[in-house]
Structure 1
Amino acid sequence: MADHENFYTRPPVDVSGGKCPFSGGLGDEFNPFEDPYLSNPWSFLEKARREEPIFYSPLINHWVVTRYDDVRRVLGDPESFSNRMSQSPVKPWPKEAIEIFEARGFPLIPNLNNSDPPEHTKLRAFMRGAFTPRKLKWLEQPTRDFFNEAIDDLQGKQSADIVKEVFHDTPARVLFKMLGIPDEDIAMVKGWSEGRALLTWGRLSDEEIVAQIPSFCDYLQYCFDRVDALEANPGEDYISELIQQWHAEKPEGITKQNIAVMLFGLLMAGHDTTTNLSGNTVRALLTHREQWELLCQDPSLIPNAVEEGLRYEGSVIAWRRVTTRDVEIAGVEVPANSMVLVVLGSANRDRSHFSDPDTFDIRRENARDHLSFSFGPHFCMGSPLARLEMKVYLEELTRRIPSLRMVPGQKPDYLPNTSHRGSSTLLVEWDRIEPR
Structure 2
Amino acid sequence: MTTGCPAHADGAACPVSDRARAFDPFTGAYQIDPAAALAWSRAEEPVFYSPETGYWVVSCYADVKAVFRDPLLFSPCNVLEKITPFPDEAMAVLASYGYAMNRTLVNEDEPAHTERRRVLMAHFLPANIEAHRDRVRVLTREKVDAFIAKGRADLVEEMLWEIPLTVALHFLGVPESDMARLREFSMAHTVNTWGRPSREDQIALAHEVGRFWQFAGEVLNRMRAEPHGQGWMHEAIRQNALHPDIVTDSYLHSMMMAIIVAAHETTAHAAANAIKLLLTDGAGWRAICEDAALIPNAVEECLRYAGSVVAWRRQLTSPATVGGTDLPAGAKLLIVMASANHDERQFQNADSFDIYRDNATDHLTFGYGAHQCMGKNLARLELRIILEELSRRLPHLRLAEQEFTYLPNTSFRGPDHLWVEWDVAANPAEGAERARFEIGAPRRKDIARSVVVTAVQTEVEGVISLHLADPQGRPLPRWTAGAHVDLELDGFDRSYSLCGDPDEPGYTVSILREEAGRGGSRRFHAVTPGTVLRLRGPRNHFPLDEAAPAHLLIAGGIGITPILAMADRLKRIGARYHLHYLGAAEARMAHLARLSRDHAGQVTAHPRDRVPRADLAALVAAAAPGTRISACGPARMLEALQSLTATRPDLVLAIEHFSAGDDTDLADNRPFEVELADSGFTLPVPADRTLLQVLRAAGIDIASDCEEGLCGSCEVAVLDGTVDHRDKVLSIAERAAGTRMMCCRSRGEGRLKLAL
Q: In the aligned structure 2, how far is the partner of 1:365 from the partner of 1:43? A: 22
Aligned-partner residue type, residue 40 of structure 1? D
- Give the one of 287, 291, 313 matched to 2:284: 291
Residue by residue, what CA displacement relative to the aligned partner does 1:35-80 show, whole Å, maximum 9, x if unpaired?
Answer: 1321123332111100111110011100000000011111111121
Q: In the aligned structure 2, how far is the partner of 1:153 from the partner of 1:110? A: 40
Please tell me whether the aligned partners of residues 304 and 367 of structure 1 are also in contact (alpha carbons under 8 angstroms). Answer: yes
Q: Is 1:312 matched up with 2:333? A: no
Question: What's the % identity of the aligned pairs?
Answer: 37
Mark the CA change 1:199 to 1:239 in structure 2 (over 3 Å): closer, same or farther.
same
Q: SS of 2:272's equivalent?
A: helix
Offset, 1:107: 4.5
More displaced stretch, 107-116 vs 394-403: 107-116
The equivalences for 1:382-421 within 5 A come to: 382-408=375-401, 410-421=402-413
Q: In the aligned structure 2, how far is the partner of 1:300 from the partner of 1:376? A: 28
More displaced stretch, 329-338 vs 256-265: 256-265
Offset, 1:405: 0.9
- Give the one of 419, 422, 427 matched to 1:430: 422
Offset, 1:230: 0.8
Q: SS of 2:31's equivalent?
A: coil
Offset, 1:251: 4.3
Please tell me whether the aligned partners of residues 6 and 14 of structure 2 are also in contact (alpha carbons under 8 angstroms). Answer: no
Q: In the aligned structure 2, how far is the partner of 1:39 from the partner of 1:64? A: 18
Partner of 2:362: 369
Aligned-partner residue type, residue 242 of structure 1? A
Offset, 1:328: 1.1
Q: SS of 1:184's equivalent?
A: coil
Q: In the aligned structure 2, how far is the partner of 1:133 from the partner of 1:353? A: 27
- Give the one of 224, 227, 234 matched to 1:240: 234
Q: In the aligned structure 2, how far is the partner of 1:254 from the partner of 1:372? A: 27
TM-score, structure 2 normalization: 0.54
Please tell me whether the aligned partners of residues 86 and 202 of structure 2 are also in contact (alpha carbons under 8 angstroms). Answer: yes
Q: In the aligned structure 1, how far is the partner of 2:101 from the partner of 2:197? A: 23
Partner of 2:126: 133
Partner of 2:523: none
Aligned-partner residue type, residue 324 of structure 2? G
Aligned-partner residue type, residue 385 of structure 2? V
Offset, 1:218: 1.0
Please tell me whether the aligned partners of residues 392 and 430 of structure 2 are also in contact (alpha carbons under 8 angstroms). Answer: no
- Give the one of 153, 162, 165 matched to 1:172: 165
The equivalences for 1:201-220 within 5 A come to: 201-220=194-213
Q: In the aligned structure 1, how far is the partner of 2:299 from the partner of 2:35? A: 20
Q: In the aligned structure 2, how far is the partner of 1:19 from the partner of 1:198? A: 32
Aligned-partner residue type, residue 153 of structure 1? A
Partner of 1:118: 111
Mark the CA change 1:398 to 1:272 in structure 2 (over 3 Å): closer, same or farther.
same
Partner of 1:97: 90
- Give the one of 64, 70, 79 matched to 2:63: 70
User: Which of structure 1's runs of 4+ aligned residues deviate more than 6 A?
Assistant: 16-19
Q: In the aligned structure 2, how far is the partner of 1:66 from the partner of 1:25? A: 17
Residue by residue, what CA displacement relative to the aligned partner does 1:319-378 show, whole Å, maximum 9, x if unpaired?
Answer: 000011111112211111011000000000001110111111110010000000111110
Residue by residue, what CA displacement relative to the aligned partner does 1:146-169 show, whole Å, maximum 9, x if unpaired?
Answer: 111110110320011111111021
The equivalences for 1:155-234 within 5 A come to: 155-234=148-227
Mark the CA change 1:199 to 1:108 in structure 2 (over 3 Å): closer, same or farther.
closer
Mark the CA change 1:93 to 1:295 in structure 2 (over 3 Å): closer, same or farther.
same
Q: In the aligned structure 1, how far is the partner of 2:220 from the partner of 2:408? A: 32
Q: Which has the larger radius of gyration?
A: 2
Partner of 1:61: 54
- Give the one of 248, 256, 260 matched to 2:253: 260
Offset, 1:91: 1.1
Q: In the aligned structure 2, how far is the partner of 1:19 from the partner of 1:157? A: 63
Aligned-partner residue type, residue 419 of structure 1? S
Q: SS of 2:124's equivalent?
A: coil
Residue by residue, what CA displacement relative to the aligned partner does 1:89-112 show, whole Å, maximum 9, x if unpaired?
Answer: 011111111122234334443111
Offset, 1:16: 6.8
Q: How many residues align?
A: 422
The equivalences for 1:295-374 within 5 A come to: 295-374=288-367
Q: In the aligned structure 2, how far is the partner of 1:217 from the partner of 1:79? A: 31
Please tell me whether the aligned partners of residues 56 and 64 of structure 1 are also in contact (alpha carbons under 8 angstroms). Answer: yes
Mark the CA change 1:391 to 1:360 in structure 2 (over 3 Å): closer, same or farther.
same
Please tell me whether the aligned partners of residues 20 and 58 of structure 1 are also in contact (alpha carbons under 8 angstroms). Answer: no
Please tell me whether the aligned partners of residues 111 and 123 of structure 1 are also in contact (alpha carbons under 8 angstroms). Answer: no
Q: In the aligned structure 2, how far is the partner of 1:177 from the partner of 1:73? A: 35
Residue by residue, what CA displacement relative to the aligned partner does 1:361-400 show, whole Å, maximum 9, x if unpaired?
Answer: 1100100000001111101101011111111111111111
Aligned-partner residue type, residue 127 of structure 1? L
Please tell me whether the aligned partners of residues 414 and 422 of structure 1 are also in contact (alpha carbons under 8 angstroms). Answer: yes
Aligned-partner residue type, residue 224 of structure 1? G
Structure having greater relative contact order (Cα 8 Å, sep ≥ 6): 1
Mark the CA change 1:23 to 1:178 in structure 2 (over 3 Å): closer, same or farther.
same
Q: In the aligned structure 2, how far is the partner of 1:354 from the partner of 1:92? A: 36
Partner of 1:5: none
Q: SS of 1:183's equivalent?
A: coil
Q: In the aligned structure 1, how far is the partner of 2:359 from the partner of 2:283? A: 20
Q: In the aligned structure 1, how far is the partner of 2:375 from the partner of 2:72? A: 23
Aligned-partner residue type, residue 353 of structure 1? Q
Please tell me whether the aligned partners of residues 14 and 338 of structure 1 are also in contact (alpha carbons under 8 angstroms). Answer: no
Aligned-partner residue type, residue 422 of structure 1? G
Offset, 1:241: 2.8
> Which ranges of structure 2 fall in alignment gaps of 5 or more residues?
432-756
Q: In the aligned structure 2, how far is the partner of 1:135 from the partner of 1:55? A: 42
Q: In the aligned structure 1, how far is the partner of 2:88 from the partner of 2:133? A: 46
Offset, 1:145: 0.6
Aligned-partner residue type, residue 178 of structure 1? F
Mark the CA change 1:273 to 1:81 in structure 2 (over 3 Å): closer, same or farther.
same
Please tell me whether the aligned partners of residues 120 and 235 of structure 2 are also in contact (alpha carbons under 8 angstroms). Answer: no
Offset, 1:245: 3.5
Offset, 1:132: 2.6
Structure with bigger strand share is: 2
Q: SS of 1:49's equivalent?
A: helix
Aligned-partner residue type, residue 29 of structure 1? A
The Cα RMSD (Å) is: 1.8
> Which ranges of structure 1 fall in alignment gaps of 5 or more residues?
1-12
